[in-house]
Each structure stands twice: as C-alpha cells, then as structure tokens.
Structure 1
C-alpha cells in the first residue's frame, strides 16, 4: 500500500475519510456536523460511542467532499495492543472499499498510540494473492494528514516493521513444493544481501564435513537436501547469536502426522523467516548491532532413507542423541545451529526462535508464545519488549526435572522421553544441553501465534509474522556483552 503524508490538518480528499474519536470528543464532532441531528441518530442506531475498536462507515454528510466518512474509536487509555487491534478492525471494514483512504491524526492523541493504530491497520490489510488467477482489488493508497515530523518518522519506522512482517507472512504462506530448503536459502539471501548483511549457505556436503549430523538426519528422508544459512551483521562488541528453525515442510518423518491440518506444516520455517526478516528490518532502520544467525533449513519427510525411531546420531557438539521421535525434529536442527554459533563465533548471548512444539499451545493457546531461558534479566527484558510492541508472550519453566526426562539407555540423551506432559519444557531442556552454562540464552517457542489457520485480529488466515517486532525491539535495546 502506498502511504503519503500531508502536514495540513483535515482529512483531505479521497473516496473515504477516517476520523478517530473517543467518548470525550464524539459529542463535539457531532455538534460540528452540518447534519448534526441525522448523524446523532445514525450513531445511536449503530451503537457507536467512540469506544476503542469501534468502527462505523457512513455516507459522508453534506458539505464533505468524500464519498464516505468512517469513524473509528481509540482512547488515550488504550494499550499498544488495543491500538493495533483498533487499526486492524478499521482495515477489515475498509479492505474492499474502492479508491483511496484519508486518515486524520486526532489532536491530543498520544503519538505512539496513533502510530500503533496505523501499524495495526497496515498489518491487517495484508493479502497473499500470488496463486490467485484474479488477485483481489482493494485499497491502494493511504493518505495520513495532520502529523508532525516526529509522528511521521515514528509511522515510517513502523511501516518498515509491517513490511518485513509481510515478508515473513509471504514466506510462511508459500506452499512446500515452491519453497524447499535451498530455495528458502536463496530467498533469504535475496532479502538480506542487498542490505549489507553477509550471507553464507552451507550445503549438505559442507554440513557433513562439519559434523552437523542432527540437521542432516532430519533432512535425509527428502529428495530436497538440507542446508544452513549463516547471516552476519556488523556492529561493535561481541555478537548475539540467533538460531532459527526452518523446516520447509514437516510430515513428522516416520512418525507421520495425522492428515488433518498437515497442510499447515509449511509454516514450520517461521522461526528462520522471522530471524532473517528481523535482521533485514534492523538494517533498513539503521540499527547497528553485532549479530550472527544460523538458520537450519530442511524437509522432514517419510521415505526409505528417512531417520528411523531409535537411531543414534552424533551431534555437532559431540554428544550422541537417540532419536526416539522423528517428529521432534526441530530441537535436533536447533541443537546443531546453536553449537555452530558457539564454535565459530563465541556469541555473548544466544536466542533461538522456532515453531517448536504443539505442547506449548496446550498450555498457552494460539495467541501466546512461550519464553524459556537460563537468565532472568534477559527473560525480563524480552517481556518488556513484548509489552512495548504489543506481542503476547509468557515465561515458562525449565529445571533439572525436565533434563532428567531426557536420559537414554543407549546414548548420551534422547530427543523425546515418550511422556504426555511437559513436552514444551522438555524440548527447551533439550536445547539447553547445547548451550554453554555461562552464556545467556533465550528460547522463543512461537508454535501457537506464528500461524493462524482461520486468521486472527491482526492477520488473515496463514502466517502472522509474530515475533519480529518483539525481537527487533529486544535486539535494539539489549545490553552489550563483553
């Protein structure tokens, strides 16, 4: 969507104009209308009182040059998330309106809330029409009026954020046949390299030379070979290491998943896509931080060459892993990625992002990500970033008891103990085995909010781009490591 700004107050011209109101300003707005009584009756009938999230579309009253007048409610007491939802509800109402839309900045409203309102609007206008013979039409231009340069700058920053969120959505929504591992690697390179982010693609031959056998084991059942994408961003200080799960399709391997919903498993690369797009967003915003990323990309397929339940594989870190469940593959991929980052770059902190477990959704539902880690200050800082950006997360436990579940009779440890409880924390404990104890580490399980089968408040059906804004905010503000 094309966005332009005009400094003059007023809604300007266009097919539809939006006024943001709240209960304290609604009466004055109605009184100023040339059709005051008629407008008051309509708003009463529509039950519009200016409450946050309310939207009503009207034929423009006499004296206005637009065809439609749209009223949207947003209170100064709203949270960041509430402001985003209010903007998204406006987008849903306007998606199929012809022509342009003009949005006026309301005097007295907090600039941050207005910018988040615009973010929510832009986030919800996303459509994935690549494979439609006749793409849907809709709003093409948004004109925002009455903003100071400070507000314009803030909106432009969030415009970068929403554009990179849409890149994540595009990648997640691609069908598995269009995005095997090496193709995803090429698209990540095309996204990051022009922005000055160094990109290195380690193919299956190189992974075998390194000894990244867990990643190779996950991908060995597919005709599409696995790979690892290494991204590097320059900055002062010790780098932060980012590991991303990039399963371009996950059948579950020999432990094949049920047919119901398996088509959604194209989304199992959302962690890798989120990290790549987050680094791209930071580069576009001019945020300089020393970052290194290892993105493990593979297809987990069932075939005559697939890993068998009970196979024992030596990890890049050295310990042997008994693979009891081939559908617990994400932790295997991330284990080698975490190890690679530590062996090559010695990062001061590690963060992994993954659609790791269905179990985290059992506890937290589809809206919240689970946050795990070995350092409370880093967990708290990430929670603060989530609050600032309107993303929903919740801290989850790891302790010695979860590690004990991973004991194996035939190897150093196993990838799944066969229990029906605590599996999200058990998966996190598995990852923790591959993190040096003195290295602060965060694990972000986005399995719930990364994909919305029926859509959600900020996203249509499909990939959501969840986690990008939180991650960018955290990386921009986190402390420097020696």
Structure 2
C-alpha cells in the first residue's frame, strides 16, 4: 500500500503539489491555497500566475501539471480541492494518486490551518484511489510508492493519518474479499481469511461453526442454502470486547460466496457478478477488524453466515419449509431469495444468545434497492429514529451514501404463509421493503434496536470515480467505523 509520511521539512521536491481552490465568486477560476510549509523561492507566485492561463477551476480532484526543466521542483502540480472540506479533500487525494501513477514520489504542500478531518479525507482518497485488484503479476502497476504531506506541525495530524490509514486498509480488505473470484472464495476460504486477519489483533476472538455444528445447533437457513454445494456453509463469529466497553453492538453480514440462484436459477447476465454477494459479510468483518485495530471502546460481536447457493441434487427446493434458529419457519418458493434465509438465522441467534444493545445487518439483498435508489445509495430500514439518524450521519461523513426507507405495515400481510410462520419471498409488493420486513420478524425483543441496510447496488462500481475504483467498493466499512467511533 502507498506509503504516506507527514513532514515539516520535505526533502524530495522533484514533484511538488500545491492545492488550489475556486476563487470567491468565480467558479471558472482558482487561487492557490497558502501553504503551511516552506516552499522553494518564487513557487507560490508562479502557481498564482499559472491558474488563469491553465484554466484551472479548483474543482476537487482536478490536476494540472506544469513541467519545469532544470528547476526545483521539476514538475509542479496544481491540485483542485473544491470547497476544501473532508469530502473534497478525499476526492482530491483520489484525483492526485491517479494523475501521478507513473511518478515514484510526490510531495503535497498542505495549508497551515487545515483541519485534521481534511487530512483524513486526503489520506483516505490517496489510499483508496490507488487500490487495484489483480491475481498474478500486474505489468501495468503504478510506480508511485510514496507521498509526503508537508505541514508545519506534523504531530497535529498524526492521529488523523493513522485513523485514515486503518480505515483505508480495512476498506481495501473488504474490496479484496469481494473481488476474489468464487473459484478461490468459498465459505471455508472466507472463514480462514478472517481467522488469519484476526490473529494479528490482540483481544479479538473468532469462532467458526462448520456444517455439522450448524445442523446440530439448528441453523436451518444456513444449512439449507449451503446444502447444494460441495463447499459446506460456515458461520463466523467474531468478538471484540474491550474492558472499558459500555455498549454491545452485533453486526451481521450476508455472506453468499457465490449465488447461482439455486434451483430458481438466475439468467447468465445476472449471475456474472455474484462473487459480490458476500459484500455485506466482508464489510462487517473488515469494520470489526478496524475497530479492534483502532482499539475502539465498544463491544462488537460480528456474525458472518457463509454459504454457496448452488444447483444440485442436494439443493433446497422452491416450496420447502425451513426451520430457523429459535424455531420460526419459512416457506421459500424462490431459492434465489437465499440471503434473507441465512440472515434470519444469524439475527435470531443474536437476539436469543447475545442480547446486544444494538443490532445492525448489511446485505446485498435485492435488486429492488437499485431500482429505488440507483447504484450508489444503500437502502436503510429501522423503526428507531435515533439509530437511523446517527448511522445515516456517519455514513454521509465517511463519504458513503444511504437513504432511509419506510417499513410499511401495510405490507406485513404479504409475509403470511399457509404452511409456515412466514413466506420468505412474496411475489407481490416492493421487494426491498418486504425483505426488510421479513428480517424484522427475527429480531424479537430487539425490534426497536435493529437496523438493516440493503447495499446490493453500492457494493459494486463499474468505473473509477473519486475514491472508488472499478469493482468492489468496500461499501459500509467506512460508515460503520465512523458510527462505532461515536459510540465510545
């Protein structure tokens, strides 16, 4: 990962980056932001003279390069920082790292009065914008390896940089897990990755339930969904329990490592990206690892129900009745609505055995999420106004996006079944809302402390955009870490 260093005395000025912002009252022109560190003589005046002829607007992420043969620096880059808030600096960092991918090192002269939050945004943008996923050699890999942040008082920003680095590392981990092809990634592999990652963090415990244990303990939904695959299901349970914790949060993430749709098989175009159907599990696992790395004083128990939904003679059938953990039963007439079945087990287990203060689940659950909100916004459901507001604020501050959706009671009647307690996949009504209402039935006495996010659409990005890179986005890691930090 890209090396980032804070320094008051930059010693490498072959490529110098100066931030510029839109000029007051004129969106078509820009002005340099006064630097807080010592610059080469005359370089600030040169930058001020350059913005007009170069048509620099200061838009966040815009980069203009000026070659200076024989000079120091040899290249001067003007970096647009827009409104210069955290989000704009995050976009600036991503724009810069892409524009300098063929350099080896750059130095950014930061303003003297820059808020630590803005430095956090810049570092996150640099690290997330530089992300690449590839199995095997990468002949087109960027050569940029280091960025110096020149500022008068480096110590004032050390914590912001450390937090940004951890956040970016965990987001990149979630991206790696989600991007990994399902020929490599099955439930056993995923569980091993989590176990290995947690081993480096003292105080973080991991338990993995294997198929026989799941069956014996009554996790009927996980067992049914994973029953058609040669790679058996797993349930990963992580526990971060610092001594000073006052709040206990359970995070649940859907972990379908590949989804064919089962006997209700998907068409080929809909199946091609189903390696991403475990992005919810990747997000909650990575957020928990991040919370442990940051030593956040909040207890977190994370549940990742893992299964591969395949077509075979042992696959569960449309029309089957499944008995979940705790005893509730589901009639399932669509084996492609499998995610809610594994989540139901995990939610019921959390309520009955863990009894947390707050219960959050993330899942790539429905295509209806994208129909309602497009490709960048998660659908958030909760009966708890304060919990919903707090999490929405954290998601927004982190640079992600979600929108609160209604849990309409008029639709509950669609969950009725003639042969079971619940119908898991009603054919009438709004798909994302019905899926949320179904999950709510498994929250029992914690209904008012529960929140669900359907994040199928924003878990994937088809093109590079600011800090997002093509492929898995790691959506949810940044928002969860922001929110968990507020609970301390």
Matches within 5 A, 1:338-349: 338-349=347-358
CA separation of 1:211 and 1:39: change in aligned 2, threshold 3 A:
closer
Structure 1 position 251 matched with structure 2 position 260: yes
Residue 18 of structure 1: aligned partner: 17
Aligned partner (choices 214, 218, 240) of residue 233 of structure 1: 240
Write the mapping of 1:1-40 to structure 2, written as runs, cut at 5 A. Answer: 1-8=1-8, 12-24=11-23, 26=31
| Greater alpha carbon shift after TM alignment, 376-385 vs 229-238 | 229-238
Give, in angstroms, the shift of residue 361 of structure 1: 0.8
Secondary structure (helix, strand or coil) at the match of 1:248 reads strand
Matches within 5 A, 1:371-386: 371-386=380-395
Would you say the 8 A contact 2:172–2:474 is kept in 1? Answer: yes
Q: Do residues 94 (structure 1) and 100 (structure 2) align?
A: yes
Alignment correspondent of 1:126: 131
Q: CA deviation at 1:5?
A: 2.9
Please report how far the alpha carbon of residue 231 of structure 1 lies from its aligned counterpart in structure 2 after TM superposition: 0.6
1:138 Cα offset (Å): 2.3
Q: In the alignment, what sits opposite 1:140?
A: 145
Aligned equivalents of 1:332, 1:241: Cα separation in 2: 18
Structure 1: runs of 5+ lacking an equivalent = none
Cross-structure match for 1:189: 195
Alignment-derived partner of residue 178 in structure 1: 184
Corresponding pairs, count: 474
Contact conserved, 2:179 with 2:472, CA < 8 A, in 1?
yes
Contact 1:21/1:106 (<8 A) preserved? no
Q: Does 1:289 align with 2:298?
A: yes
Aligned to 1:215: 222
Quote how far apart the aligned CAs of 1:268 are. 0.8
Q: Does 1:52 align with 2:82?
A: no
* Equivalent residue runs for 1:269-284 within 5 Å: 269-284=278-293
Cα 1:405–1:379 change in 2 (3 A) is same
Deviation for aligned residue 1:270: 0.9
2:431 corresponds to which of 423, 426, 438 = 423
The answer (yes or no) to whether the contact 1:367–1:448 under 8 Å persists in 2 is: yes
Distance change (3 Å), C-alpha of 1:431 and 1:6:
closer
**Deviation of the 1:333 alpha carbon:** 0.6
Instruction: Tell me the equivalent position of 2:469.
Output: 460
TM-aligned CA deviation for residue 90 of structure 1? 1.7
Residue 206 of structure 2 corresponds to residue 199 of structure 1: yes
Match of 2:444 among 436, 447, 457: 436
Deviates more, 1:40-49 or 1:345-354: 40-49
Contact 1:129 1:136 in 2 (8 A): no
Q: Kindly indicate whether residue 218 of structure 2 is the aligned counterpart of residue 224 of structure 1.
A: no
| Alpha-carbon contact 1:251-1:257 (below 8 Å) kept | yes
Map of 1:70 onto structure 2: 77
Q: Which residue of 2 aligns with 1:307?
A: 316
Who is 1:396 aligned against? 405
Q: CA deviation at 1:345?
A: 1.3
Contact 2:259 2:309 in 1 (8 A): yes
Q: Contact (CA 8 Å) 2:61, 2:466: kept in 1 or not?
A: no
Match of 1:470 in 2: 479
Secondary structure (helix, strand or coil) at the match of 1:17 reads strand
CA contact (8 A) 2:288 2:302 kept: no
Aligned residue among 56, 80, 83 for 2:89: 83
TM-superposed deviation, 1:326 = 0.8
Counterparts in 2 of 1:165 and 1:434: CA distance versus 1, 3 Å:
same
Deviates more, 1:167-176 or 1:111-120: 111-120
Note closer, same or farther for the CA distance 1:449–1:27 as it changes in structure 2 (3 Å cut).
Answer: closer
TM-score (structure 1 length as normaliser): 0.92
**Cα distance per residue 1:129-180 (max 9 Å; x no partner):** 2334646232111111114312122112111110111111111110001011
Q: Give the corresponding residue for 2:175.
A: 169
Tell me the TM-score normalised to structure 2 length.
0.91
